[in-house]
């Protein structure tokens, strides 16, 4: 069986420090196989867009890893990733 095309391992993103620290994404694990359709559903502020921005490379994860086709994307800039993103106000 083929491994996941997109894999998020223990993905975390926080903003700020100390008392001002906000955890936007808290240890997400996700595997998506090629051809699968996945929807991130939740209320405003739950981390959907932040997660997508980490996959696309616009935010650097505080912890964890993003893999595409088995390759870690954590150090790959957005323009070199095999991803595309349409922002909500343009969709």
Domains delineated in the chain: 6-90 (3.40.50.300)
pLDDT tens across 51-86, in order? 999 999 999 999 999 999 999 999 999 999 998 877
DSSP 31-77: EE-TT--------TTSSHHHHHHHHHTSS--SEEEEEETTEE-TTS-
- In angstroms, rounded to a whole number, what is the distance separating the alpha carbons of residues 55 and 82? 10
Task: Convert the pLDDT of each residue in 34-49 to its tens digit.
Answer: 999 999 999 999 999 9
Note the pLDDT of residue 68: 96
- In this prediction the pTM is 0.88
């Amino acid at each position: 069986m083929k491994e996941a095309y997109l894999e998020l391992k223990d993905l975390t993103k926080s903003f700020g420090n100390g008392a001002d620290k906000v955890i936007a994404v808290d240890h997400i694990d996700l595997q998506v196989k090629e051809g699968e359709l996945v929807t991130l559903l939740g209320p405003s502020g739950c981390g959907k867009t932040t997660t997508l921005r980490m996959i696309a490379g616009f935010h650097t994860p505080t912890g964890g890893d993003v893999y595409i086709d088995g390759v870690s994307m954590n150090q790959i800039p957005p323009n070199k990733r095999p991803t595309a993103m349409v922002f909500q106000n343009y969709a």
